[in-house]
C-alpha cells in the first residue's frame, strides 16, 4: 500500500510539473493589428489582451519608444511622425519571454508635398512638387494658381511662370484632413547686356570692345580676342568679324547675350604696337605687329638703350616674349629695326615691356 501511494505521489509531481511547463510554453504576446493613421493622428496599440498564457502577472516593454505615451503598459497610445514598427516584449512571472510586432502606418497623404523652392531664368520651366507621387494610393492633388502649370492635378506639374510665384498644393485622401503646402518659383532677372556699337578699323589694327549690363562676361569667337573674360577685350580680326558677348549677373545663373561687328578695311600697312606685357597671363604676352604675316621675309632686330642686341628674328610671327636669348628682359623701352623684306625702307621705333 505504501508503495502504491509513493508511486501515485511521484506521478502527481510529474503531472504538476508538466502542467506548469505547458502553461509557460503557451505564453504569447499580442501587439495588436496593424493600422493606418493620419498625420498628427494617434492609435492605441496592443491586443485585447496584450498577453495570454504563461504565468501572470506580466511585464510589458515596447520598442522603439518614439511616439508612445508610455513604453511599459499593455496598450499605449502611439503618435508616430512616420510609419513605425513597434515590438512588444512580454515577460511572465516565471521569466518566460515572447514578442510580437505591430506596424502603425502613416497615411500616404503624409508624402504629398509642394516640394522645395526653386529659381529659374526668364522663360524657363521648373518641375514642382515633392519626391513622391502617391496618387496611386488615393491621394488627390490640386495646385493654385493653375494657369501657368501644365496640369494642376498632377503631383509634379511643370510650372512656367512669368513672374515669381508661390504655388499652393492642397492634397486630399479619404479619411484624413486635407494637407496644404507651398513652393515658390523665383524668376531670376536677365541682365540687360549690350555689346556696344559696331566699329570699323584698318586691317592689322586693334579694336577695344565695350560691353555693359552684366557682372560676368565671356566673348566668342576667342581666337582673335584677348581678355575675352572681361567687359572690354581687345579684338584683332584680319577679316570682318561679328563677336558675341554672353553676360550674367552676380549669381552667374541666367545669361543674356548681344553682338557687335568689327568691320575690316583691307590694307597692307604694318601696325607696330608700342607695349606688351609678358607676364604669362595669356593676354598680350608677346609683341604684336599687325599685318606682319603678309611679309614672311621680314627681319627684326631689337636693342636695349645701350645699343646691345637683345632679340633678332627672320620671318617674325608675333612670338617675342620679351626675352634676350632665353633670359627675361626687365621692364623698359627698347628700340627696333624692321626690314619687311619687300624692298621698302626699314621701319624704326620703340616698344616697351611692362611686367
Distances, alpha carbon 59 to alpha carbons 62, 92, 97, 119, 282, in Å = 10, 6, 10, 56, 80
Q: How far apart are CA 315 and CA 304, in angstroms?
A: 21
The DSSP symbol for 64 reads -
CB distance 290 to 203 below 8 Å: yes
**pLDDT at residue 24, as a whole number:** 52
Comparing C-alpha atoms, which of 337, 334, 327, 325 is closest to residue 353?
334
CB distance 299 to 280 below 8 Å: no
The DSSP symbol for 23 reads H
Which is it for the CA torsion 7, 8, 13, 14, positive or negative? positive
Q: What is the pLDDT of residues 220-249, one digit of tens each?
A: 999 999 889 999 999 999 999 999 999 998
Q: How far apart are CA 301 and CA 339, in angstroms?
A: 9
Q: How far apart are CA 106 and CA 117, in angstroms?
A: 25
**pLDDT at residue 5, as a whole number:** 40
Q: What is the pLDDT of residues 96-109, one digit of tens each?
A: 999 999 999 999 99
**pLDDT at residue 281, as a whole number:** 85
CB distance 254 to 121 below 8 Å: yes
Comparing C-alpha atoms, which of 210, 217, 214, 213 is closest to residue 196?
210
**pLDDT at residue 7, as a whole number:** 44
What are the structural domains, with CATH classification, of the chain? 24-106 (2.60.40.10), 110-188 (2.60.40.10), 199-265 (2.60.40.10), 271-353 (2.60.40)
243 burial (CB, 10 Å; 0-12 / 13-18 / 19+) is buried
The DSSP symbol for 12 reads H
**pLDDT at residue 25, as a whole number:** 61
Q: What is the pLDDT of residues 193-204, one digit of tens each?
A: 999 999 999 999
Per-residue pLDDT of the chain (355 residues; tens, 9 = 90+): 444 444 444 444 444 444 444 445 699 999 999 999 999 999 999 999 999 999 999 999 999 999 999 999 999 999 999 999 999 999 999 999 999 999 999 999 999 999 999 999 999 999 999 999 999 999 999 999 999 999 999 999 999 999 999 999 999 999 999 999 999 999 999 999 999 999 999 999 999 999 999 999 999 999 999 889 999 999 999 999 999 999 998 888 899 999 999 999 999 999 999 999 999 887 889 999 999 999 999 999 999 999 999 999 999 999 999 999 899 999 999 999 999 999 999 999 999 999 9
Q: How far apart are CA 320 and CA 313, in angstroms?
A: 9
Comparing C-alpha atoms, which of 15, 133, 34 is closest to residue 78?
34
Give, rounded to a whole angstrom, the gap between the first and last alpha carbons of the chain: 127
3-state SS class at 325:
coil
Q: How far apart are CA 319 and CA 308, in angstroms?
A: 20
Residue 305 grid cell = 638703350
Residue reference for cell 494617434 = 42
**pLDDT at residue 19, as a whole number:** 44
H helices, E strands: number in the chain: 1, 30
Amino acid at each position: 500500500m505504501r508503495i502504491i501511494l509513493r508511486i501515485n505521489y511521484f506521478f502527481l509531481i510529474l503531472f504538476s510539473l508538466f502542467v506548469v511547463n505547458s502553461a509557460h510554453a503557451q505564453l504569447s504576446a499580442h501587439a495588436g493589428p496593424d493600422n493606418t493613421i493620419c498625420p498628427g493622428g494617434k492609435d492605441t496599440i496592443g491586443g485585447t489582451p496584450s498577453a495570454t498564457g504563461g504565468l501572470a502577472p506580466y511585464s510589458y516593454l515596447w520598442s522603439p519608444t518614439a511616439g508612445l505615451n508610455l513604453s511599459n503598459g499593455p496598450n499605449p497610445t502611439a503618435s508616430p511622425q512616420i510609419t513605425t514598427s513597434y515590438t512588444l516584449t512580454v515577460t511572465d512571472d516565471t521569466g518566460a519571454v515572447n514578442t510580437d510586432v505591430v506596424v502603425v502606418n502613416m497615411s500616404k497623404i503624409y508624402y504629398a508635398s509642394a516640394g522645395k523652392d526653386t529659381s529659374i531664368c526668364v522663360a524657363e520651366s521648373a518641375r514642382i512638387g515633392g519626391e513622391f507621387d502617391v496618387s496611386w494610393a488615393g491621394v488627390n492633388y490640386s495646385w493654385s494658381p493653375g494657369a501657368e502649370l501644365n496640369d494642376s492635378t498632377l503631383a509634379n506639374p511643370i510650372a512656367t511662370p512669368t513672374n515669381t510665384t508661390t504655388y499652393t498644393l492642397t492634397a486630399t485622401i479619404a479619411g484624413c484632413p486635407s494637407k496644404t503646402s507651398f513652393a515658390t518659383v523665383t524668376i531670376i532677372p536677365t541682365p540687360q547686356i549690350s555689346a556696344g556699337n559696331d566699329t570699323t578699323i584698318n586691317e592689322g589694327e586693334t579694336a577695344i570692345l565695350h560691353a555693359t549690363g552684366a557682372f560676368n562676361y565671356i566673348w566668342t569667337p576667342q581666337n582673335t580676342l584677348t581678355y575675352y573674360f572681361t567687359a572690354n577685350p581687345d579684338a584683332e580680326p584680319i577679316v570682318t568679324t561679328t563677336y558675341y558677348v554672353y553676360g550674367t549677373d552676380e549669381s552667374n545663373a541666367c545669361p543674356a547675350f548681344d553682338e557687335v561687328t568689327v568691320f575690316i578695311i583691307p590694307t597692307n600697312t604694318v601696325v607696330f604696337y608700342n607695349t606688351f606685357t609678358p607676364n604669362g597671363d595669356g593676354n598680350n604676352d608677346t609683341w604684336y605687329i599687325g599685318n606682319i604675316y603678309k611679309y614672311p621675309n621680314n627681319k627684326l632686330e631689337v636693342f636695349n638703350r645701350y645699343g646691345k642686341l637683345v632679340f633678332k628674328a627672320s620671318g617674325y610671327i608675333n612670338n617675342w616674349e620679351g626675352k634676350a636669348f632665353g633670359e627675361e628682359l626687365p621692364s623698359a623701352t627698347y628700340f627696333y629695326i624692321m626690314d619687311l623684306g619687300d624692298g621698302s625702307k626699314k621701319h624704326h621705333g620703340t616698344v616697351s615691356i611692362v611686367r
